[in-house]
């Protein structure tokens, strides 16, 4: 069953045609990845889903409801959480406050407390730093915080934008392990990555985006074996 | 001389009954004929006045700083909301409640709080409408457009306020809604009820605002929007609602300052476009910048600092340089600590 269904999506930045007729389906319960080079339109796709960008044409349907024209704060309440690129944590908040604002749209106190406990178990490093200013965290810890905060929104669909960006290989392994755990607990994930290798190993299904168009899509393990993807994104000659 | 404060009060020891001086000329005149000061008396008197007026600056500065923190623009119409608050207090007290504004007349005790609440509500509504119709359509426009619009709103408020159907082109005298009672003497300084009310209200409002911003969910939303608007939206914060609320809150605080100002200085109710208002608004803006624009605690600190500096300068150096002290501090802060006393340099992240 498709949780998110995107059809013929067009997005413009002024005269620039950033997304050109994107079609993409995210099945419930899966990890779907969107890979591609810098500037291909991966982040724009996520920003359009979460309402930060208005599409010029096309449809976005989440669980039977159209997302077009809805402001971001309503889209969050429908069950979509977006951990933006560059971590995007609130540097003026403590770690604890960052987690709390992740649950801003929720009112179930007991549920929030349970989820908070759950993410702190997933990310023990954050528990040690709860009262610290988020600005003092390392890059990897900031990424953990961004993911933990998005999980606290209790989304049905989690949008992750470049979670491996600028992190040491060891930390990347940890982050992807946790992404699998979050998915195993029932959250559908749309993962945008430049690290195609990690992304395809983690995801069930993959899309390849090139300058605003989807050029390939297939189950992740098939994409990983395809010659084109290996040449262009996996650095295999 | 653009100032509307009636100068330093002279309180010689043993002066049992001393009526507050209202009117600049009389105030400065009294200063000249004052008997010899007892140093402590002068110090306490200056401190009291400086804190009260500093508190009013701080209340206005909060509106400047909150709007800047969230929208990154200076709302030049903000000081006119302060004027509006003062004038609505007069209109509601005199025209609606029928309190006589002749000298010596008194009003029932409940009128003060009622007028205070009405002024805050009316100005909160005005702030909401101004944001909705003047600034919101420019949300994605360049900052300069919004800035010019703010100046336009300011001129509009000043000049329509001068119309006879609104407040008219003449100064008025504010009736004494707070009875002119002496609470006691502090080191020989008369402590009138009005001063305690002004300072008490300022402190209560500041503590309330502090609690709202740092201890409630709405406050967390405000701080989130101030840090990064689109990131806050992704957390589920209704950015438009937070911006509206910020304007309502800032305007209500400015109205409180307007009301308290005319309580303390009933002769200060000049016509809406009088330049004395502009000087007060400008000093409140200086307070926001000195404290660190965008920083709520900075605005409180800056306001108090400016008020104290102004009154100490007047009392101990040269009264004519009242404005010079304030703007010299601004120059010093901009030279040596351009982010303000509590402001932090923003790091542009790559």
Say if strands B182-186 and A80-83 run parallel, antiparallel, or are unpaired: unpaired
What would the pLDDT profile of B122-151 be if each residue is shown by its tens digit? 999 999 999 999 999 998 899 899 999 999
Is B46's pLDDT higher than 90?
Answer: yes
**Percentage above 90 pLDDT, chain B:** 75
Contact A64, A83 (CB under 8 A): no
**Residues B167, B95 share a domain:** yes
Where would I find the H helices in A61-137?
Answer: 72-78, 95-102, 109-122, 124-128
For residues B347 and B350, what is the distance between their CA atoms, to the nearest angstrom?
9
**pTM of the entire structure?**
0.87
Mean pLDDT estimate for chain B: 87
Q: Is B290 helix (H, G, I), strand (E, B) or coil?
A: helix
Dihedral pair phi/psi, residue B235, rounded to 5°: -85, -5
Q: Span A3-20, mean pLDDT?
A: 94
What would the pLDDT profile of B310-319 be if each residue is shown by its tens digit? 999 999 999 9
Q: How far is CA A33 from CA A116, A180, B315, B333, in A?
A: 26, 13, 71, 51
Q: Is there a contact between A72 and B231 if contact means CB atoms under 8 Å apart? A: no
**Residues B181, B204 share a domain:** yes
For residues B181 and B195, what is the distance between their CA atoms, to the nearest angstrom?
10
For residues A155 and A80, what is the distance between their CA atoms, to the nearest angstrom?
5
In sequence order, the 6+-apart residues with CB closer than 8 A to the CB of A18 are: A11, A12, A41, A44, A212
Q: Is there a contact between A101 and B238 if contact means CB atoms under 8 Å apart? A: no
- Split at pLDDT 50, 70, 90, the class of B39 is confident
In sequence order, the 6+-apart residues with CB closer than 8 A to the CB of A67 are: A49, A51, A60, A61, A75, A78, A80
Q: What pLDDT score was predicted for residue A236?
A: 66
For residues B44 and B190, what is the distance between their CA atoms, to the nearest angstrom?
10
Taking alpha carbons only, the member of A86, A89, A87 closest to residue A101 is: A89
**Residues B52, B22 share a domain:** no
Q: What pLDDT score was predicted for residue A227?
A: 84
Q: Is there a contact between A101 and B234 if contact means CB atoms under 8 Å apart? A: no
For residues B243 and A177, what is the distance between their CA atoms, to the nearest angstrom?
39
Question: Which B positions 185-244 lie with beta carbon below 8 A of chain A?
Answer: 217, 220-221, 223-224, 226-228, 230-240
State which H helix or E strand residue B170 sits in.
none
**Residues B168, B255 share a domain:** yes
Q: What pLDDT score was predicted for residue B108?
A: 84
For residues A144 and A216, what is the distance between their CA atoms, to the nearest angstrom?
30
Domain housing A53 = 2-84+150-233
**Residues B15, B106 share a domain:** no
Domain count, chain A: 1
State which H helix or E strand residue B245 sits in.
helix B239-264
What would the pLDDT profile of A51-71 be if each residue is shown by its tens digit? 999 999 999 999 999 999 999
Count Cα atoms within 13 angstroms, Cβ side, for A160: 36
Q: What pLDDT score was predicted for residue A237?
A: 53
Is B349's pLDDT higher than 50?
Answer: no
Contact B231, A88 (CB under 8 A): yes
**Residues B181, B47 share a domain:** yes
Let me know if residue A154 belongs to a domain. Answer: yes
Dihedral pair phi/psi, residue A119, rounded to 5°: -70, -30
Name the residue among A51, A86, A104 with its Cβ closest to that of B235.
A104
For residues A27 and A46, what is the distance between their CA atoms, to the nearest angstrom?
16
Domain CATH code at residue A6: 3.40.50.300
Q: How far is CA B49 from CA B34, B42, B297, B302, B348, in A?
A: 17, 11, 21, 16, 41
Let me know if residue B348 belongs to a domain. Answer: no
Name the residue among B234, B238, B349 with its Cβ closest to that of A84.
B234
**Residues B26, B45 share a domain:** no
Cα A102 off chain centre by: 14
What would the pLDDT profile of B164-214 be if each residue is shown by its tens digit? 999 999 999 899 888 888 998 988 899 999 999 999 999 999 999 999 999
Q: Is there a contact between A71 and B238 if contact means CB atoms under 8 Å apart? A: yes
Q: What pLDDT score was predicted for residue B8?
A: 45
Residue A51: DSSP 8-state: T
Q: Is B296 helix (H, G, I), strand (E, B) or coil?
A: helix
Which tokens is A106 given? 């929720």
Is A25's pLDDT higher than 60?
Answer: yes
**Residues B188, B95 share a domain:** yes
Size of interface A-B (CB pairs under 8 A): 64
What would the pLDDT profile of B254-285 be if each residue is shown by its tens digit? 999 999 999 999 988 999 999 999 999 999 99
Q: Is there a contact between B227 and A50 if contact means CB atoms under 8 Å apart? A: no
Domain count, chain B: 2
Let me know if residue A139 belongs to a domain. Answer: no
Domain housing B28 = 1-32
Q: Is B187 helix (H, G, I), strand (E, B) or coil?
A: coil
Q: What pLDDT score was predicted for residue B5?
A: 56
Q: What pLDDT score was predicted for residue B2?
A: 42
Which tokens is B243 given? 């911006």
Is A214's pLDDT higher than 60?
Answer: yes
Q: What pLDDT score was predicted for residue B284?
A: 97
Q: What pLDDT score was predicted for residue B20?
A: 41
**Residues B94, B9 share a domain:** no
Which tokens is B67 given? 């709007």
**Residues B271, B155 share a domain:** yes
Please tell me if residue B19 touches chain A, with a CB cutoff of 8 Å: no
Let me know if residue B55 belongs to a domain. Answer: yes
What would the pLDDT profile of A152-166 be if each residue is shown by its tens digit? 999 999 999 999 988
Length of chain B: 350
**Residues B107, B8 share a domain:** no
Domain CATH code at residue B319: 1.10.3470
For residues B187 and B41, what is the distance between their CA atoms, to the nearest angstrom?
6
DSSP for B5-35 reads S--PPP--TT----PPP-SHHHHHHHHHHPP
Q: Is there a contact between B227 and A88 if contact means CB atoms under 8 Å apart? A: no
Is B14's pLDDT higher than 50?
Answer: no
Dihedral pair phi/psi, residue A14, rounded to 5°: 60, -120
Let me know if residue A64 belongs to a domain. Answer: yes
Q: What pLDDT score was predicted for residue B149?
A: 96
- Which residue of A49, A51, A52, A72 is the best one to mutate when testing the B interface, meaning the one whose CB has the most B CBs within 10 A? A72
**Residues B61, B119 share a domain:** yes
- Give me the interface pTM, i.e. the ipTM: 0.93
Let me know if residue B344 belongs to a domain. Answer: no
Q: Span B142-163, mean pLDDT?
A: 94
């Amino acid at each position: 069953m498709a949780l998110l269904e995107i059809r013929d999506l067009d997005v413009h930045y002024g005269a620039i045609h950033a997304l050109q007729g994107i079609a993409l389906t995210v099945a419930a319960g899966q990890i779907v990845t969107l890979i591609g080079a810098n500037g291909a339109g991966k982040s724009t796709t996520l920003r359009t889903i979460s309402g930060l960008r208005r599409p010029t044409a096309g449809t976005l349907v989440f669980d039977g409801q159209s997302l077009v024209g809805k402001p971001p704060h309503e889209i969050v309440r429908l069950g979509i959480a977006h951990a933006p690129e560059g971590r995007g944590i609130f540097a003026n908040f403590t770690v604890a406050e960052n987690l709390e604002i992740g649950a801003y749209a929720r009112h179930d106190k007991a549920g929030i407390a349970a989820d908070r406990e759950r993410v702190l178990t997933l990310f023990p490093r954050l528990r040690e730093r709860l009262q610290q200013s988020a600005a003092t965290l390392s890059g990897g810890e900031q990424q953990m915080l961004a993911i933990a905060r998005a999980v606290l929104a209790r989304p049905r669909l989690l949008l992750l934008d470049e979670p491996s960006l600028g992190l040491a290989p060891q930390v990347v392994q940890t982050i992807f392990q946790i992404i699998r755990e979050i998915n195993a607990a029932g959250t559908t994930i749309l993962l945008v990555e430049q690290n195609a290798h990690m992304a395809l190993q983690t995801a069930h299904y993959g899309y390849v985006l090139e300058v605003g168009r989807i050029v390939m899509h297939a189950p992740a393990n098939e994409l990983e074996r395809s010659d084109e993807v290996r040449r262009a994104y996996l650095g295999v000659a | 001389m653009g100032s509307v404060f009636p100068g330093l009060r002279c309180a010689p020891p043993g002066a049992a009954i001393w009526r507050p001086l209202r009117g600049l000329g009389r105030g400065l005149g009294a200063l000249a004929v004052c008997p010899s000061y007892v140093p402590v008396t002068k110090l306490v008197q200056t401190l009291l006045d400086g804190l009260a007026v500093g508190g009013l600056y701080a209340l206005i500065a909060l509106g400047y700083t909150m709007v800047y923190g969230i929208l990154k623009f200076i709302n030049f119409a903000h000081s006119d909301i302060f004027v509006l608050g003062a004038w609505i207090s007069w209109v509601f007290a005199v025209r609606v409640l029928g309190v006589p504004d002749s000298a010596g007349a008194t009003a029932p005790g409940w009128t003060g709080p009622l007028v205070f609440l009405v002024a805050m509500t009316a100005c909160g509504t005005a702030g909401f409408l101004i944001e909705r119709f003047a600034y919101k359509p420019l949300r994605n426009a360049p900052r300069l457009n919004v800035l010019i619009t703010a100046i336009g709103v300011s001129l509009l408020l000043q000049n329509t306020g001068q119309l006879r159907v609104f407040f008219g082109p003449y100064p008025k005298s504010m009736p004494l809604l707070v009875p002119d009672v002496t609470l006691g003497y502090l080191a020989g300084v008369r402590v009138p009820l009005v001063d305690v009310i002004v300072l008490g209200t300022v402190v209560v409002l500041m503590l309330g605002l502090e609690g709202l911003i740092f201890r409630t969910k709405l406050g967390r939303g405000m701080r989130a929007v101030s840090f990064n608007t689109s990131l806050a939206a992704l957390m589920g914060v209704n950015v438009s609602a937070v911006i509206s609320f910020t304007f309502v809150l800032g305007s209500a605080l400015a109205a409180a300052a307007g009301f308290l100002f005319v309580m303390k200085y009933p002769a200060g109710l000049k016509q809406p476009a009088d330049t004395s208002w502009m000087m007060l608004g400008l000093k409140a803006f200086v307070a926001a910048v000195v404290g660190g624009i965008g920083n709520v605690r900075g605005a409180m600190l800056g306001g108090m600092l400016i008020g104290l500096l102004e009154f100490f300068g007047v009392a101990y150096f040269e009264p004519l340089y009242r404005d010079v002290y304030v703007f010299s501090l601004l120059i010093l802060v901009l030279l040596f600590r351009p982010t303000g006393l509590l402001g932090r340099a923003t790091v542009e992240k790559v």
